[in-house]
Amino acid sequence: MAQWCATTEFLAEWAKNQAATGPLTYEHRLLLSGCGYNADLLGDASRSDLGRILLLEPVELLTAALPFSEYPQELVLRISVREKARTSGVQTVMYAHHREIVDGIVALLSIYLRRLVTHCGPNTVETSDWIPAHPILKRLPIPIVSSSKQAAFWSKLPLNSLTSVDGTTFHNPNPEAVGVSPEKLRLFLLQIGKHPQAKKIIDAARSYHRGLELLFDQPDISYLCFIFAADALAHAAFPSVERSEQERLDLRISQNLQAAASKLGLPADQIKALCLTATDSIRHKQRGELFALFLKKYGAGHTSAPWIFNFEDSAQIFKVADEDAAIKLAYATRSGYVHTATPIRDSALLGTSSRMSVFASMELFVNEDRAPPIVWLERILAQSFLTFVNTTKPTA
């Protein structure tokens, strides 16, 4: 968990000083499963080099010198940090946590853009002018051949075709290009840097990012990652919530006690006092209740947000009739319900093939014993995350 602590410290220090945090500038390469452009420009952003600028601080983020239509889109991230002492036994070495910080920022970018962003690794480091060094050593290459890792990205979904008497029409289910306002993205990271629950927010972003990585290969594990992300945010939003008197009286233990006490002829005020005493140890709401409270409060209005993929009319089958029931059922997957393979069917990600199997179609309309669609869960989670970060009062 060191990388998430490093990211928290980096953002908190930057939010406090509003300046670069160190003399060493590392350049990293990322992959974006989609297309990003500077949304603050007027006109066609692809016709200007300024359209490549996605963020200026606390890190610099821009698209590489490739056409905007290139997929996946390669991004360049530059981050300024300082070295810190790291002790192991009797040995002390100086180390810059640039990799760990970037990993956390990549997770935050993924949920802000709602696209999979993958960290490929650093390629150069540049020292400040006030650090004495030979000119050729001001910008040093970092080994990438021996230390590089395979970058994961979403494979492009095939076009869906529909043939009728009027001809053949095609629909592209892939995510649309996403416009990024450098100023709004800066304010988003600034809000996290000042947030009292920054650590838990970055932990949740990490789970969300892992869910995006596994969305196609292991959708059942991806589902659980989204659940864990929402659970972490719920505890950040509601460290402790007490039940009202009526909620405690409505618990099953209170109802059983009321029935037994009524048979004994006890007066109503004594029965109420007994019930409140019996539920005193569980007066705080449990994890599943906080999970539901968080998504219902901060996820309100998520239906106006776009789906993570371009479903258009096909998205109707992913809507849920009763969201309260759907949230409870989604949380129940933590106990292993997902691993029975019941909720994740071939149709969990509509658009992964040019047609839907008969089996998948029947499961959508006939089988009621399944968890809510994974794309619905992702959307309400993303909406809740962004609303929680943007509406919570930051620390001074």
Average pLDDT over residues 132-141: 63
Residue 14 predicted with pLDDT over 80: yes
Residue 140 Cα to chain centre, angstroms: 34
* Consecutive H or E run containing 36: strand 36-38
The residues, any chain, with a CB within 8 Å of residue 325's CB and separated by 6 or more, are: none
For residue 125, the model assigns a pLDDT of 83
Diameter of the chain measured on Cα atoms: 93
Average pLDDT over residues 185-206: 92
Instruction: Report the relative pairing of strands 24-32 and 117-127 from DSSP bridges.
Output: antiparallel
The pLDDT of residue 147: 61
pLDDT on residue 297 = 92
Instruction: State the Cα angle at 126 between 124 and 131, rounded to 5°.
Output: 150
- Take residue 46 and report the two structure tokens written for it: 């692809």
* Residue-level pLDDT at 44: 81
314 touches 364 (CB < 8 A): no
Task: Provide mean pLDDT across the span 113-130.
Answer: 83
pTM, entire model: 0.81
Per-residue pLDDT at 331 exceeds 80: yes
Q: Which has the higher per-residue pLDDT, 180 or 158?
A: 180
d(C-alpha 98, C-alpha 124), whole Å = 12
Examine the pLDDT at 183 and tell me if it is beyond 90.
Answer: yes
> Domain limits of the chain?
2-194, 219-240+287-391, 245-282
Task: With a cut of 50, say whether residue 165 has pLDDT above it.
Answer: yes
Report how far residue 54's alpha carbon sits from residue 309's, in angstroms, rounded to the nearest whole number: 22
Highest mean pLDDT among 31-40, 41-50, 344-353: 31-40
Say what the pLDDT of residue 180 is: 93
- For 362, phi then psi, to 5°, come to -65, -35
Q: How far apart are CA 283 and CA 275, in angstroms?
A: 11
Q: What are phi and psi of 125, to 5 degrees?
A: -135, 135
258-298: per-residue pLDDT in tens? 777 777 777 777 777 777 676 666 555 677 788 998 999 99
Split at pLDDT 50, 70, 90, the class of 355 is very low
Q: Is the pLDDT of residue 129 over 60?
A: no
Q: Which amino acid is at 354?
A: S
Beta-carbon contacts of residue 60 (< 8 Å; ≥ 6 apart): 76, 77, 78, 79
Cross-strand bridge partners of residue 160? 171
Per-residue pLDDT, 313: 62
pLDDT at 349: 52
pLDDT confidence band for 106 (50 / 70 / 90): very high
To 10 degrees, what angle do helices 287-298 and 323-331 make? Answer: 140
d(CA 186, CA 331): 33
* Buried/exposed 115-150: b ≥16 CB within 10 Å, e otherwise: bbbbbbbbeebeeeeeeeeeeeeeeeeeeeeeeeee
Predicted local distance difference test score (pLDDT) of residue 268 = 79
| Average pLDDT of the chain to the nearest whole number | 79
Range with the poorest average pLDDT among 3-17, 23-37, 271-285, 286-300: 271-285
Taking the CB of residue 216, how many other CB atoms lie within 10 A of it? 15
Percent of the chain with pLDDT over 90: 26
Q: Residue 60 forms beta bridges with which residues?
A: 78
Closest CA to 371 of 336, 357, 394: 336
Name which residue leads in pLDDT, 112 or 82.
112
Distance CA 166, CA 274 (A): 73
List Cα–Cα distances, 348 to 58, 79, 357, in angstroms: 37, 38, 12
Unique residue bearing structure tokens 């968990």? 1
Most confident stretch, 204-213, 239-248, 335-344? 204-213
Say how far apart CA 33 and CA 31 lie, in whole Å: 7
**pLDDT by residue (tens digit) across 49-79?**
888 899 998 999 999 877 777 889 999 999 9
Measuring CA to CA, how many Å separate 9 from each of 6, 193, 194? 5, 8, 10
Q: How many helices (H) and strands (E) does the chain have?
A: 12, 12
